[in-house]
Amino acid sequence: MRRIFPLSFFFILVSCTPQVPAVDVEKDVVYVYADAFSEAWLPALYTCAERSPELLVYRASDIDTANIILRLNGYPRLDTPAYHLADVEFVVATNAQNPLDTLSLEDVHAIFIGKITNWAQLGWDDALIQIWGYTSETGLNGVLLQGEKLSSLAKQAQSPVAMRDAITADQYEIGFIPLEMVLSDPSIQKISFAQPMKLPLLILLREESDSSKSVVACLQRNTD
């Protein structure tokens, strides 16, 4: 005769069966800092980090606590290994309603150092030129002005996005932002003059580990 065991017997049997413990993978925790000019590359960095199961990435609130640093132009210089990821082209830009879409290099410098302060001096409206620069910590003003000092009347933008928004809001504004922002926004225009401003986007490592270097290699492949 076939014996019938109560269902509760099987529950007891399963509960008493030894379970194979899950093996925890030790995570290499790193903190990433990105300045306002390199935040667009963060999604690619997170994607690269996800491909490395032993790496756990968090966003750092400041540069001093970061293991991996993304920044434009590498300024101020840090005594850490640096790797080149891409070049970002900056251009001088104005509101699209400004008819002066071509200026000489001398005129551009004169505007940004405060020697030309009114658009009428360049043959347009009698209106003050609203200049935009970046904070001195970025080092970007010096790239445009080649060692000359930015006008004391210039407003300071915390990011290219903030400068772009200011230029789109007023026809008398002028600043310098990444070329891709100009190409994607018909309300602003590039001012043509003979001075290329291509700046390197760098990734810096405070400590070089196999996992962090693999992230760098992944990012470099994705930005080629």
pTM: 0.80
97, pLDDT greater than 90: yes
CA distance 39 to 34: 6
Beta-carbon contacts of 45 under 8 Å, excluding residues fewer than 6 positions away, are: 32, 57, 68, 70, 215, 219
Q: How many CB atoms lie within 10 A of CB 192?
A: 11
93, pLDDT greater than 50: yes
Beta-carbon contacts of 176 under 8 Å, excluding residues fewer than 6 positions away, are: 90, 91, 92, 93, 132, 140, 144, 163, 197
CA distance 73 to 137: 11
Q: Which of 78-82, 139-143, 166-170, 218-222 has the highest mean pLDDT?
A: 166-170
> 20-72 pLDDT, tens per residue?
444 455 778 889 999 988 998 999 999 998 888 788 899 998 889 998 999 99
Q: Which amino acid is at 138?
A: T
Both tokens of 28, joined, read 């290499």
